[in-house]
């Protein structure tokens, strides 16, 4: 009887161990559902090797850093569109006046957290949290309905004023 229990424990442990190994593969590279093997579209080939003009000017190797032959799709897209990939993090010179005007009263570092907490307070004060918890109802749009912009009424107002609205859908035949 003891031997049968021992075998049962070993069999259960083996099954649990095998089940734990099932999700071990990278789902992006392996197409496990169809059993076809690696996904060839997830593998990006490196850029071709280039020999620089002067070998003494090569940068120092950086373990764990970027390789000159590594693909960088974002920088490649910026270059293809005629931009400068080195300026991706900065403010373009054409937008400096806009940025300085927008930041004229100062820039707060944690603005996202501040806005999130103010939004939560607003929804708490406007019938939000109790209904959300009890009935799993989102009252976000109800809380802000007085502040919303009716896009159709706004479009009609601008068209009545004679302003050209090229980005809006064309008028329907019954509107003309």
The answer to pTM > 0.75 is no
pLDDT digits (tens, 9 = 90+) for 20-47: 666 545 554 445 555 666 666 677 777 7
Angle at 114 between CA 122 and CA 96, to 5 degrees: 125
pLDDT digits (tens, 9 = 90+) for 92-145: 777 778 888 888 888 777 888 898 898 888 777 765 566 666 776 776 777 778
Say if CB 29 and CB 39 are below 8 A apart.
yes
Decide if pLDDT at 164 tops 50: yes
Share of the chain above pLDDT 90, in %: 2
CA distance 171 to 134: 44
Angle at 107 between CA 104 and CA 110, to 5 degrees: 160
Residue 131, pLDDT score: 62
């Amino acid at each position: 009887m003891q031997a049968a229990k021992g075998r049962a424990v070993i069999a259960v442990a083996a099954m649990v161990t095998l089940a734990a190994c099932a999700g071990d593969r990278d789902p992006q590279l392996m197409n496990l559902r169809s059993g076809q093997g690696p996904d060839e579209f997830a593998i990006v080939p490196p850029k071709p090797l280039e020999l620089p003009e002067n070998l003494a000017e090569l940068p120092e190797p950086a373990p764990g850093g970027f390789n000159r032959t590594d693909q960088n799709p974002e920088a490649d897209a910026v270059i293809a569109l005629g931009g400068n990939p080195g300026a991706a993090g900065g403010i373009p010179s054409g937008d400096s006046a806009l940025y300085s005007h927008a930041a004229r009263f100062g820039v707060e570092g944690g603005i996202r957290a501040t806005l999130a907490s103010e939004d939560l307070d607003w929804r708490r004060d406007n019938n939000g949290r109790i209904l959300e918890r009890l009935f799993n109802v989102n009252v976000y749009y109800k809380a802000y309905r007085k502040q919303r912009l009716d896009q159709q009424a706004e479009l009609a107002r601008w068209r009545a004023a004679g302003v050209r609205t090229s980005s809006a859908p064309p008028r329907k035949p019954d509107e003309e």
